């Protein structure tokens, strides 16, 4: 069967693709950013599509010869990059209309516990999408509503949970007594595969959650044990601290940083993630418990490194931003004349020295501002390495004595450059 998977490189989508390929299906991967996708699944046919903007005619052309579509695309919160109504409602409406016209089955991935009366745009738009599918009797559709999805890959909320579990000394949580029901990524993929069978239960909304409802405190403790770290207390932080953090994460979203600690995520944690465990039986599936799914994917050093580095990454980026911004501002203000004097005492003409100081300071500020934007962060980090190399080479030629200066103006540039290397190595989110 030829199957289109939308959002095929995401946490759920990639697992679905792997399962459908193993089952012998002809899979077409669809998404917005295909560069990384083609590297991870080079044998897959990839096509570009944006659920938020694709029209019915666009989908009709893409769905030629397609028997089924699996929609794994979604967003957590409105941002400059994501419009929940466009993705969850209007995008799904247009996709469903195209599937109806092509007589292609639609398996739509929603979320457990989605209800119209829950006070977040995520819930209301997800619920509206489910309702519009239910109002299309000529369409073969199934809505799968997974709980908290856990698998070998870590992204978004599951990545945050690993970071909390790996926090040194203790594990901070918010709303620690909220309860969640989990589901393994391979169980979600198995459910999708069952929905493509001729005898699949159609026009139904099915929750995918294990019966055990664990508190966030217990979940983080078990993840810590799974990672192989020694037991540590789990401290429930005041909600006001979480709200401040979420407000900062919301602001950073306007710069392209999609943090899992935004307001919508905090609201979802407060409400918990609950569903009907019996629904899996309609697909003849027995979902794995939290302990069983963790036992099925033993952790290694890479998981421990990720958990330990999770909160170090934003700290490194913040330090680099502050370092380059402040350096540039100092060079243009209180440090301007001392910097010019450093060059003129080595025989450099004043005009050239002034140009070098101003140019270097402006470059520092520009790199800091580029780093602040997610889209230009990687080029900024590479630029920091190049500029640092230029400073070191120039310093060695003009003022080699600075290598022996007790304050280490040149020597200290090397560990700062290594921070940029570390940031580059951990910049990717998927």
Q: Residue 222 is encoded by which pair of tokens?
A: 């078990």
Predicted pLDDT of residue 262: 84
Parse the chain into domains and list their residue ranges: 2-310, 314-425
Alpha carbons 159 and 152: distance in angstroms, whole number = 10
Predicted pLDDT of residue 270: 82
C-alpha dihedral sign at 279, 285, 286, 291: negative
> In this model, does residue 71 exceed pLDDT 90?
yes
Determine the average pLDDT of the residues in 230-242: 91
Q: Does domain 2-310 sit in CATH 3.40.50.720?
A: yes
> In this model, does residue 81 exceed pLDDT 80?
no
Buried b (16+ CB within 10 A) or exposed e, 407-420: eeebeebeeebebb
Predicted pLDDT of residue 78: 66
Predicted pLDDT of residue 210: 98
Predicted pLDDT of residue 430: 72
Buried b (16+ CB within 10 A) or exposed e, 96-105: bbbbbebebb
- Range with the lowest mean pLDDT among 147-161, 209-223, 376-390? 147-161
- Range with the lowest mean pLDDT among 118-127, 275-284, 315-324? 118-127
Predicted pLDDT of residue 423: 97
> In this model, does residue 118 exceed pLDDT 80?
no
In order of 18, 48, 155, 172, 240, the CA distances from 151 in angstroms are: 13, 26, 10, 22, 31
- Range with the lowest mean pLDDT among 38-47, 274-283, 303-312? 38-47
Determine the average pLDDT of the residues in 298-311: 94
pTM strictly above 0.85: yes
Mean pLDDT rounded to a whole number for the chain: 92
CA 310 to chain centre: 12
The predicted-structure confidence for 21-37, as pLDDT tens digits, reads as follows 999 999 999 988 888 88
- Range with the lowest mean pLDDT among 81-90, 294-303, 308-317? 81-90
Predicted pLDDT of residue 293: 96
**Residue given tokens 């693709």 in the structure block:** 17
Q: How many CB atoms lie within 10 A of CB 351?
A: 9
Alpha carbons 229 and 224: distance in angstroms, whole number = 6
| pLDDT band, residue 404 (cuts 50/70/90) | confident
Predicted pLDDT of residue 43: 81
Contact 133, 96 (CB under 8 A): yes
Determine the average pLDDT of the residues in 367-372: 98
Alpha carbons 157 and 170: distance in angstroms, whole number = 19
**Residue given tokens 């009797």 in the structure block:** 137
Contact 201, 280 (CB under 8 A): no
Percent of the chain with pLDDT strictly greater than 90: 73
């Amino acid at each position: 069967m030829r199957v289109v998977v939308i959002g095929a490189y995401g946490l759920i989508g990639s697992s679905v693709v792997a399962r459908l390929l193993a089952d012998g299906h002809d899979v077409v991967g669809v998404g917005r950013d295909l560069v990384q996708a083609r590297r991870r699944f080079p044998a897959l046919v990839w096509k570009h599509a944006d659920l938020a903007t694709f029209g019915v005619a666009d989908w009709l052309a893409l769905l030629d010869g397609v028997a089924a579509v699996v929609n794994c695309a979604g967003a957590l919160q409105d941002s400059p990059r994501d419009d929940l109504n466009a993705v969850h409602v209007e995008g799904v409406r247009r996709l469903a209309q195209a599937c109806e016209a092509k007589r292609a089955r639609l398996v739509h991935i929603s979320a457990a516990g989605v209800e119209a009366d829950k006070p977040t745009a995520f819930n209301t738009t997800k619920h509206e999408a489910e309702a519009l599918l239910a109002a299309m009797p000529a369409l073969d559709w199934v809505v799968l509503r997974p709980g908290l999805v856990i698998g070998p890959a870590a992204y978004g909320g599951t990545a945050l949970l690993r970071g909390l579990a790996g926090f040194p000394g203790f594990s901070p949580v918010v709303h620690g007594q909220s309860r969640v029901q989990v589901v393994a990524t391979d169980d979600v993929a198995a459910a999708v595969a069952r929905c493509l069978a001729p005898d699949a239960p159609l026009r139904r909304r099915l929750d995918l959650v294990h019966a055990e409802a664990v508190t966030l405190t217990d979940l983080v403790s078990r993840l810590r044990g799974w990672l192989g770290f020694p037991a540590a207390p789990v401290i429930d932080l005041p909600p006001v601290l979480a709200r401040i953090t979420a407000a900062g994460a919301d602001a950073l979203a306007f710069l392209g940083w999609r943090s899992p600690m935004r307001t919508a995520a905090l609201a979802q944690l407060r409400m918990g993630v609950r569903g009907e465990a019996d629904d899996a039986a309609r697909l003849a599936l027995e979902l794995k418990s939290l302990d069983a799914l963790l036992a099925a994917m033993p952790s290694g050093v890479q998981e421990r490194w990720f958990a330990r580095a999770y909160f170090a990454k934003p700290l490194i980026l913040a330090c680099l931003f502050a370092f380059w911004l402040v350096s540039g501002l100092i060079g243009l203000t209180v440090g301007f004349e001392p910097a010019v004097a450093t060059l003129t005492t080595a025989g450099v003409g004043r005009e050239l020295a002034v140009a070098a100081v101003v140019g270097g300071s402006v470059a520092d500020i520009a790199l800091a501002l580029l780093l602040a934007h997610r889209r230009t962060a990687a080029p900024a980090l590479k630029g920091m390495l190049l500029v640092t190399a230029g400073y070191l080479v120039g310093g060695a030629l003009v003022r080699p004595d600075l290598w022996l200066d007790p304050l280490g103006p040149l020597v200290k540039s090397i560990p700062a450059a290594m921070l940029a290397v570390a940031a580059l190595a951990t910049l990717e989110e998927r």
